[in-house]
Amino acid sequence: MSPENVNCLPESDVKLTLGLPGGGPISAKPAKPPAAKAQVVGWPPVRSFRKNAMKSCKYVKVAVDGAPYLRKVDLEIYSSYQELLNALEEMFSCLTIWNYLNERKIMDNVNGMEYVPTYEDKDGDWMLVGDVPWKMFVESCKRLRLMKSSEAIGLAPRTPSKNSSTS
Amino acid sequence: MNYFPDEVIEHVFGFITSHKERNAVSLVCKSWYKIERMSRQRVFIGNCYAISPEGVIARFPELKSLTLKGKPHFADFNLVPHDWGGILYPWIEAFAKSRVGLEELRLKRMVVSDESLELLSKSFVNFKALVLVSCEGFSTDGLAAVAANCRFLRELDLQENEVEDHRGHWISRFPESCTSLVSLNLACLKGEINLSALERLVARSPNLKSLRLSRAVPLDALQKILMRAPQLVDLGTGSFVHDPASDAYNKLKATILKCKSIKSLSGFLEVAPRCLSAIHPICHNLTSLNLSYAPGIHGNDLIKLIQHCRKLERLWILDCIGDKGLGIVASTCKELQELRVFPSDPYGVGNAAVTEEGLVAISAGCPKLHSLLYFCQQMTNAALITVAKNCSNFTRFRLCILDPIRPDPVTMQPLDEGFGAIVQSCKRLRRLSLSGLLTDRVFLYIGMYAEQLEMLSIAFAGDSDKGMLYVLNGCKKLRKLEIRDSPFGDTALLMDVGKYETMRSLWMSSCEVTLGGCKTLAKNRPMLNVEIINEDDQIDFSSDDRQKVGKMYLYRTLVGPRKDAPEFVWTL
C-alpha cells in the first residue's frame, strides 16, 4: 500500500535537522495537503455525533414588521421553504402561511395584514424568499424579515410564480 | 478449602468491586465461584454478543447493575453499517421475565428502541439509573416512558446519542412525586424542552448534583434553574448567548456566584464569547472543564478563562486554543490528569491550530497527566521522545495527526522512534492509538515494551504481516485490536488463532486478509464468531477465496453465531 501523497511532500523545502523543539530553526512549516485530496471515510476519527454538532449551524434573526422582538431560527434544520415557513407560522402564531407556493404571502389572522417573506443576502440586498434553490438560500441568507405587504412594492409578485419547485 | 463460613467470605468479597478482581476471585475454586456469583451486583458485558441474557441471569441472579456494549468501536466513525446489530430489546425482555431486580443499566453503542425503554420502565420497580452513551434508535417518547414510570429514578444520563425528537413534553411526564433525581444529562437532545416543567423538576429535586442542559435552554432559563439548584456540583449549560448589558445576563452573573459547589462545567453549545466572564468567578474551583462543543470561543477568550482554572484535572477543548493556549494550560493547570484536544474542523485536514509544540509544553508543565487524546496538524519524533521523558505516567495515549500518513515534518522520517519512546517509557500504558507515517518498526517496539497494553488502534500503518505479528506475539494483555487500511494479511491473521480467544475482539478493514483466510480462521472455532461485513455485495461467497475482505470483525463468544445478524453480515 503506497499512499499516494507521500510523493507530494516538498522535500526540497525541508532541512534535515533533528533538533529539540524550540532548539533549532523550525525549517518545515506544516505542509498544506494536496488540494485534491479525497475525503477518507471515517477519518479523522471523530464521533459522528460530534461531527454533526460541529457543522456550522445557520442561526438567522427573524423580524416581523410590527412585532416587539425578533426571533432566531436555525436554517440547517429545515430542508425546504415550506418547512421553514411552517416553523415561522408556529413561532409567530398569529400568522398563517397562506397559499405560499402560489402567492408567497403570509396572512395575519387577527388584523388582516399581509406579509411577504424577504431575506437579506450576503451582499446586503433584500430579496424575496423562494427564488433560488433551498440550499443556495441557506448558504446566502443572513437574516429574515416578514415585510408588510404594503411596503413590499416592487418585491411581491403580482402573479403566481411558475418557479414553485423550490425545495 | 474454606476456613471461614461462606457469609464471611461473602462479606470480604463485598470489598472487591472491580470486575477484573471479581473475575479473578471466581476462578480460585468452586466454592469461591459460587459465593462470588451469588453476590455479584454489578455485571459488565464488554460485548453483548459474547453471552446471552439468559446466561447472565443464570450466573448472576442477584445482579442489580448491568453494563452492555454493542457495536465495535469503529462504528463511531461510520465504518459499521447502520443496522449491524447491538439491539437492546432481547436483553430487557429476558430480564423482565426473570426475577432480577434491575436497578441500573449502562449502555454503549447499542440500538435502543422506544419499546425497550418502555418495557424497561415498567418491569423494574426499583430502577434507578439509565446511562446511554452513543446509542440510537429511540425518541423522546421512550424518555417519556422512563420519566413517567421509574418512580425512584436517580440518574438519567444521555451522552452523545441520536435521539429523535417527537415534541410532546416528555419532561412534564416526571410525576410531581418524583423528587429523587441526582443526575440529569440532556445535552444531546436537539428539540425544544418545556422550560417551566424543567424548572419545576429541578425545584423538587433537592439531591440534584449533576445537570447538563441542551441547546434549547437559553441563558435566562439557565438562571432560573440555577436559582433552584445552587447545590449543583456538575453543570452543563445550554445556549449561552445573551446581550451582556441585559438584566438577564446580570441576574445570571449574580446567581452563579451562589453556586459555590460547581466543580465540573460543560456545555456552551452556543456561546457569545463576551458572556464568558460570568463564569470566571467559579473557575478557581473547577476540576473538570469541557468546552469541546463550543466552537464560538476564540483562543484568547479561552486563555482568559483557563488562567483562572488552577485546579483543573480534566480539560476537553478544541484545537482553536492553539499551541500558545496549550502553553498557558501547561503553566496554569498543574493538577491536570486528562487532556482532550478535538479538531474544530472535523471534516478535513484543514487548519488545525495545534502542533507538537503544544503537546511538548503540556508534558513539561503537567506532571500528573496520564490520559491524552490529541488531534493535531503534525508531530515529530523529537517531540514524542521529549513527551515520553517528561510524562511516563500515561495510561491512555491517543494521537491523531489529521493527515493519517504524515511523517515527521522536520526529518521526513516515520514516527516509529517517537511512539517507541512512548511505549518504552510509559510502563502502565493500557490504551494506544497511532497515526502518522509508521513502518513495521513501531510494532516491534509495541510488542517489546507495551506489556500492559489492552487496546490498540491502528490506521494506515505498517509495511507487512510482521507488524501485526509483533503485536499479537508481544502484547500479552491485549484485549481489543482494531486495524484499518494497513497491509496485514492472512499470514498474520492465522499465525496464532488461539490468541483471539484471550481477547475481546479484532477488527480489520481495508487490509489484506482474504475470504479464504477468514474461513480458515473460523474453521473449528466454536468460541469465535468471525463476521464479514459485506456491504454492496462486494463479496461473492460462492467463488474465489482469494478475494480480499473489506471488513472483518471477530470476537470470542459463548453462544455461537448470533441470530440477529442482518443480511450483509456473514458469520463464517
Task: Tell me the average pLDDT across A132-160.
Answer: 75
Interchain contact, A45 vs B400, CB within 8 Å: yes
- On whether the CB atoms of residues B297 and B243 are closer than 8 A, the answer is no
pLDDT value at B218 more than 80: yes
Instruction: State yes or no: pLDDT of B474 exceeds 70.
Output: yes
Residue B76 to residue A43, Cβ atoms within 8 A: no
Residue with cell 517531540: B383
Integer Cα distance of B430 and B426 in angstroms: 9
pLDDT of the residue at A166: 42
Predicted TM-score (pTM) of the model is: 0.81
Chain A interface includes B269 (CB < 8 A): yes
* A92 against B281, higher pLDDT: B281
What is the distance in angstroms between the Cα of B421 and the nearest Cα belonging to chain A? Answer: 15
Does residue B346 have a pLDDT over 80? no
List, for residues B353-377, the tens digit of each pLDDT value.
899 999 999 999 999 999 999 999 9
Q: H or E segment at B459?
A: strand B455-459
pLDDT in tens, B404-451: 899 999 999 999 999 999 999 999 999 999 999 999 999 999 999 999
How close, in Å, is residue A60 to chain B by CA atoms? 13
Q: How confident is the model at residue A90 (pLDDT cuts 50, 70, 90)?
A: confident
Burial readout A45-64 (b: 16 or more C-beta within 10 A, e: otherwise)? bbbbbebebbeeeeebebbb
Q: Which of residues 21-60 of B touch A (CB under 8 A)?
A: none
List Cα–Cα distances, B74 to B133, B398, B469, in angstroms. Answer: 15, 15, 22
Closest Cβ–Cβ partner in A21, A27, A33 for B382 = A21
Chain A residue numbers touching B360 (CB-CB < 8 A): 21
Cβ-Cβ contacts under 8 Å, A54 against chain B: 293, 295, 344-346
Nearest beta carbon to residue B349 from set A6, A16, A37:
A37
Cis peptide upstream of residue A44 (ω within 30 degrees of 0): yes
Q: By C-alpha distance, which of B180, B183, B217, B219 is closest to B197?
A: B217
Most confident of A102-116, B359-373, B522-536: B359-373
Q: What is the mean pLDDT of residues B524-545?
A: 83
pLDDT the model gives residue A105: 58
**The pLDDT of residue A3 is above 60:** no
Lowest mean pLDDT among A145-154, B127-136, B230-239, B272-281: A145-154
pLDDT tens for residues B11-37? 999 999 899 999 999 999 999 999 999
Task: Flag the least confident range among A83-87, A159-163, B276-280.
Answer: A159-163
Rounded CA-CA distance B142/B146 in Å is 7
Task: Find chain B residues with C-beta within 8 A of A16's C-beta.
Answer: 410-412
Locate A30 and state its grid cell: 506544516
The CB-based long-range contact list for B538-543 (8 Å cut-off, 24+ gap) reads B539/B515, B539/B570, B541/B515, B541/B570
Segment B164-188 mean pLDDT: 93
Specify the pLDDT at position A12.
Answer: 42
pLDDT at A39: 65
**For position B309, what pLDDT does the model report?**
96
Judge whether B382 is closer than 8 Å to chain A, CB to CB: yes
Closest partner CB to B346 (pick from A5, A22, A46) = A46
Interface test with B, best of A14, A20, A48 (most B CBs within 10 A): A48
| Segment 337-356 of chain B within 8 Å of chain A by CB | 342-349, 355-356
Check: CB of residue B161 under 8 Å from CB of residue B188.
yes
If one compares A79 and B451, the residue with the highest pLDDT of the two is B451
The pLDDT-based confidence of A159 (bands split at 50, 70, 90) is very low
Q: What is the mean pLDDT of residues B370-397?
A: 97
CB-based contact, B410 to chain A, within 8 Å:
yes
Per CB-CB distance under 8 Å, the chain B contacts of A1 are: 460, 485-487
CA distance B294 to chain A (A): 9
**pLDDT at B208 (0 to 100):** 97
Mean pLDDT of the region A28-35: 39
CA contacts within 13 A on the Cβ side of B340: 12
Instruction: With a cut of 70, say whether residue A167 has pLDDT above it.
Output: no
pLDDT band at residue A56 under the 50/70/90 scheme: low
Give the pLDDT of residue B542: 72
Determine the residue of chain B that is closest to A2 in CA distance: B463
Contact B356 A21 (CB under 8 A): yes
- Inform me whether the pLDDT recorded for A1 exceeds 90: no
ipTM above 0.85, yes or no: yes
Model confidence at A135: pLDDT above 50: yes
Q: Mention every residue, 6+ apart, whose C-beta is less than 8 A from residue B247.
A: none
pLDDT band at B189 (very low <50, low <70, confident <90, very high): very high
- A-chain residues within 8 Å CB-CB of B270? 59
Task: Report, as an integer, the average pLDDT of A51-80.
Answer: 78
Backbone angles phi, psi at A78, to 5 degrees: -110, 155
**Looking at per-residue confidence, does A156 or A28 come out higher?**
A156
| Cα gap B285→B233, rounded to integer Å | 10
Which of these ranges, B90-99, B343-352, B483-492, has the smallest mean pLDDT? B343-352
Mean pLDDT of A59-81: 80
Q: Is B495 an interface residue toward A (CB < 8 Å)? A: no
Please give the residue that has the higher pLDDT: either B169 or B126: B126
What is the per-residue pLDDT for A40?
80
> If phi over 0 gives left and psi between -120 and 50 gives alpha, with beta otherwise, what is residue B119?
alpha
Across B66-71, average pLDDT: 97
pLDDT-derived band at A151 (thresholds 50, 70, 90) equals confident
B405 touches chain A (CB under 8 A): yes
Q: Is the pLDDT of residue B72 over 50?
A: yes
Among candidates B134, B347, B409 on the partner chain, residue whose Cβ is nearest the Cβ of A30 = B409
Contacts of B108 in chain A (CB under 8 A): none
**In this predicted structure, what is the pLDDT of residue B17?**
87
Chain B residues inside the 8 Å CB shell of A48: 76-78
Q: What is the average pLDDT across A7-11?
A: 42
- State the cell numbers at B225: 434553574
Contact across the interface for A47 and B375, Cβ inside 8 Å: no
Question: Is B387 a residue whose pLDDT tops 80?
Answer: yes
pLDDT, tens digit (0-9, with 9 covering 90-100), for B260-280:
999 999 999 888 777 888 999
Q: Residue A50 and residue B293: Cβ atoms within 8 Å?
A: yes
Nearest C-alpha in A relative to B360: A21
Cell of B132: 446511554
- Average the pLDDT over A109-128 and give the result: 79
Q: Which residues of chain A neighbour B355 with C-beta distances below 8 Å?
A: 30
Q: Which of A18, A37, A86 to mutate to test the interface with B (most CBs of B within 10 A)?
A: A18
Q: What is the pLDDT of residue A34?
A: 39
State what percent of residues in chain B have pLDDT above 90.
84
Q: Do A18 and B485 touch (CB under 8 A)?
A: no
> What is the rounded average pLDDT of the residues B238-247?
84
Q: Select the more confidently predicted residue: B540 or B502.
A: B502
Give B410's contacts in chain A (Cβ within 8 Å). 14, 16-19, 26-28
